[in-house]
Structure 1
Amino acid sequence: MFKKNAVAAGMAAFASVALAAGCAVADGSKGSDVDITAMSAEELAEYFIFETGSFRDQEMQEGGTWRDRMTQDDIQKACSMEGNPDGETAGRVVAMARASYEAPESIELGDWRKGAELADSGFGYRMGHNNDNHGQREPGGNCYNCHVFDPRVSVQGTIGPSLVNYGANRGTSEAVLRYVHEVISNPHQYFPCTEMPRFNTVDRQLLTDEQISHIMAYLLDPESPVNNQ
């Protein structure tokens, strides 16, 4: 999750220029005009993004539309523009994250081989001229973008901590399984305002519990290459 809405920030900068120029734009409704000179830069950015048709009401793979994807939820609002959140903000974010988490009846490890494929795959929710089609291929977690799992894999990220030998060092107790499931589902429960995505919450499911079980197996199974370094 971005710490700052880059699109809105860029539009706000453009809006400042537009306001200085004193221009007016049509709002797209039956010939009426909107006087943008009466708006603040932030109001004008919101206007350009959401009211002028800049983003179509195209359906997203995760449900909802472009408008929904561009609208911050409460956690994103709380974390926006924060460097390291203060104690009050962190507490609110953790509380909201825990309220959005629904624990399965049981948590078990899946197939680490499938988990390796999901961790390597960035397929899933890209939109544009060539949308990710879930009818052709299941979404992945793109975990390699931020973490090192297996140092023998040539391209992996370093934004997040290394996970090499994660299961070998921690085991597979019930407490560890529950913790890892909670972090993958909604990491804000432990790391408020983290950049790690929320993969499975009560109102948004980017990965299913089955897919998460496979990624957990890749991370924790003693047979996984992650734990044999």
Structure 2
Amino acid sequence: MLQTEVVLTSGLPYDQAADDYLAHHHLAAGNGSLMRAVAGALYGATLPRPRSAEVARAISRLTHADPATGEGCVIFHELIRVALGGGNPIAALPTALAQVQGEERDRWATVLVDDWHPDKATEFNGAVWPALGSAVWALRHTRTFRDAVCVAVDLGGDTDTVAAITGGLAGAVYGLHGIPEAWRVAVHVPLPGARPGERAVWCADDLARLADALAG
């Protein structure tokens, strides 16, 4: 989130800001673009696989210029595509990894193998690799949306982002009705800049309609 904020408030043109951040920071493979990748993945699921990968990289690069972040979003897009089609995203990991470009593939494969555990992470889970690796691990070792998200939160660290990534994957697997009702009714998203008379807050139903529009 910090990297995203710095890039978006840098004052530089959008196509230069992420590059500038990468040039001045050693740690630029943050998980922020993966955190917000669900909307792009819903849209990408309607596209041919190569085009979805292009979209994933392009949207990621708006704030995160490190190539690893874009490739993580490519993997995420493919897992969401498979889940929305009724398939098993865990079984689709080899297909998703095959889309990763060149030198990034081995690094991604390390955190997505069956026996990887978040304790094996070599970076804080604010980095893109352990963030997605932890989300996949949580999905692999649970059987409900609630359990997947709770397990992700219990890992600690960058909990909001890891849980958001996990929730995207688990939501695609278990569907809207797999989310506990008490969680759904609590959702409220304040809309900045709302004018008098306009709706200032969106609820879960509003977000569901937006998701349908993206996927349609």
Instruction: Give the TM-score taking structure 2 as reference length.
Output: 0.24
More helix by share: 2
The structure with higher relative contact order (CA 8 Å, sep 6+) is 1
Answer with 1 or 2: which has the greater Rg.
1
